[in-house]
Amino acid sequence: MRKEQNITIVGAGSSRTPALVGSIVDYKDRFKIKKIVFFDIHTKRTSKMETYIRLVLKQEIPNATVIFTTDKTVAYEDADAVLVQMRAGNTEMRSLDEKIPLKHGLVGQETCGPGGFAYGMRSIGAMIEMVNDIRAVNKDAWILNYTNPAAIVALALDKVFPDDKRILNLCDQPYSMMRSYAKILDKPQHDLKCTYFGLNHFGWFTEIEDYQGNSYYNQVKEYLTGHEFKPYNAEQRSASWLETYKRVNKYLSFFPEYLPNTYLQYYFFPEEIVEESDPNYTRADEARDSREKEVFELCASAEGRDDLGNLEILKGSVFGNLMIEVAESILYDLNNEFVIMVRNNNLIPNFPAEAIVELSGQLGLDGAKAYPYGAIKPFYKGLMEGQYAYELLTVEAFLEKDYTKALEALTINRTIVDPQKAKAVLDDLMEANKNYWTLT
């Protein structure tokens, strides 16, 4: 009999939370819940979803204790795992992260380029505060962070809390891509595993195989030579997300050796992406008018009800499922395989030891154990060295409040390169973010 767990969701005001609850429901027979706490300092958003979430959990996991709170002690004191999905600055700041760079003819994206820099600077401070709050009342909780941009956050937390082995930073994009590969192969996703290397949102698949050692890598590559790459749930995705996947085919037309993470498009085709972007209507607006609108409307229909009735239970087929599978693998010591983020420490011997790399590996009670990858080729090493330098300078800029390092970070980023543009966008982002971070 598996032990019942206490979990806390930080950033519970996210419109993704109801679908995450749907994943908790789907996994309830194998991931046992004793108590679930929804924590967010912005009660305006959580209040829109609370009734709906309570009704779902009352129907599906009736014995679980359910708490909505803004009290940090209540949120953290007896949590076994804290699942973090916060967005410092909410949708309003995301919109500026996307629109300000576009004004300068630069990629406007929430995790890559100058927008990712601004978001990262906000996230670092919020995450450091959160870890300190958790450790003040709970030394043993697993902190499972999905807050973006994960690469920058992971590097910052590793520098500030180098000895805390129960902080893990994760990303759902490799998991999502494996779901798409499984659909191409017409095989269950969990029958497949991958070999992967890189940095977060900046990496490559080099093998896809089953647990009997049969490789399907060439089959996927051959399929992509004649078919447009689409996410497994293409019919549910917005037009901009379909474009993100489509450019995998374009990347492969130049560099067919490895299958790229979809986010590499921003670094290889930035001018094309800027040209196609609407500076007045970006993904922040798209999310607000589609996913958020639909989620909040469904949740509003639960108000005044005593039971769920015929209301749909939203499901989290990628983001939510990964979060629960990761927590399950750790808390029940399953050592299941994932693409994980760890300190390099010679896993890639010709890359900086202190870098946070993203590799295939296992998760259990001893934490993250990545598989050694080996030396990487000059092309990939060169790309990763530049990206890592950007990440490191961003973290140092925040910790030291150093304007020069911030300018260096943006200038070295492949989406910018031009120091004149780097300075112009940095100054605008600094003004927009003055309530979150400052530089001198």
Catalytic site residues? Answer: 172, 263
Question: According to the annotation, is 247 in a ligand binding site?
Answer: no
Alpha-carbon distances, residue 255 vs 93, 129, 259, 268, 379 (angstroms): 35, 42, 9, 11, 10
Task: Tell me which residue of 64, 9, 59 sits closest to 32, measured CA to CA.
Answer: 64
Neighbours of 389 (CB within 10 A): 16
What six digits make up the tokens of 406? 């911030």
Question: According to the annotation, is 201 in a ligand binding site?
Answer: yes
Task: Tell me which residue of 14, 85, 69 sits closest to 36, measured CA to CA.
Answer: 69
> Measured on CA atoms in the order 203, 206, 208, 210, is the torsion positive or negative?
negative
Q: Could you tell me the end-to-end alpha-carbon distance of the chain, in angstroms, rounded to an integer?
A: 56
In whole angstroms, give the CA distance from residue 86 to residue 40: 8
In whole angstroms, give the CA distance from residue 9 to residue 94: 21
Question: According to the annotation, is 87 in a ligand binding site?
Answer: no
In whole angstroms, give the CA distance from residue 189 to residue 140: 32
User: Is the distance from CB of 412 to CB of 406 less than 8 angstroms?
Assistant: no
What six digits make up the tokens of 161? 């809390």
| Greatest Cα-to-Cα distance within the chain, rounded to the nearest angstrom | 62
Question: According to the annotation, is 194 in a ligand binding site?
Answer: no
User: What's the DSSP call for residue 112?
Assistant: S
Give 390-393's long-range contacts (Cβ < 8 A, gap of 24+): 391/151, 391/152, 391/155, 391/199, 391/356, 392/155, 392/355
Q: Would you list the DSSP string of 264-332?
A: GHHHHSHHHHHHH-BTTB-HHHHHIIIIIHHHHHHHHTTTT-SS-TT------TTHHHHHHHHHHHHHT
Q: What angle do CA 430, 148, 286 make, to 5 degrees?
A: 85
Residue ranges of the annotated binding site are 94, 148, 171, 201, 283
Residue ranges of the annotated binding site for Mn(2+) are 171, 201
Residue ranges of the annotated binding site for substrate are 94, 148, 283
